Amino acid sequence: MILLIDNYDSFTYNLYHYLIQAGEKQVVVKRNDEISVAEIKKMKPRGIVLSPGPCTPNDAGICLEIIKKLQGIFPIFGVCLGHQAIGQAFGGKVVKTYPMHGKVSEIFHQGKNIFKGLPSPFKAARYHSLIIEKKTCPKNLQITAETKEGIIMGIADEKLKIFGVQFHPESIASEHGHTIIKNFLKII
């Protein structure tokens, strides 16, 4: 069972459908303010997905607490806001950038973990105005993907099975989104 934390975003159910299409039998969706860390521990999900959302990591309900208290216990995959929350929870700074709402960018990556088997670059949709500041990216988080301008598009701590992407693999405008989700499910 995968626990999908909904950060009040319209893309949450796209992620839900991608997880089901990737072969996950059960996906439980909970809003970021309707579940506790204790309840998550009792659920024993095989992985947690943190959805996109319209706010900052500080305003994303339980997301930061999930990352800080459940890292290493359950694998975590963050998308957009979820990715930013991972960066911030480990000590990185989330800063404003030029708004990228519905823009497609080329994503350059190293072909590892969730990017295994994907061409580099590939095109992906971006819907954000915040990013993890590169110079503050925590040392334990490997930068796994970037734009040609050097903006962080992917992070990972493979040992803890924590992965994040700034772009939206669940957007119809993104290439290889299903493969990214399948790769996460294979890793966990």
- 165 strand-pairing partners: 79, 154
**170 noted as active-site residue:** yes
- 107 strand-pairing partners: 122
Give the active site residue among 24, 63, 80, 137: 80
As a whole number of angstroms, the distance between CA 181 and CA 178 comes to 5
Give the active site residue among 137, 168, 175, 176: 168
Whether 80 contacts 107, CB under 8 Å:
no
**80 noted as active-site residue:** yes
Give the active site residue among 24, 170, 175, 176: 170
As a whole number of angstroms, the distance between CA 78 and CA 166 comes to 8
**17 noted as active-site residue:** no
* Single-letter code of the amino acid located at 63: C
* Chain centre to alpha carbon of residue 66: 13
Catalytic residues: 80, 168, 170
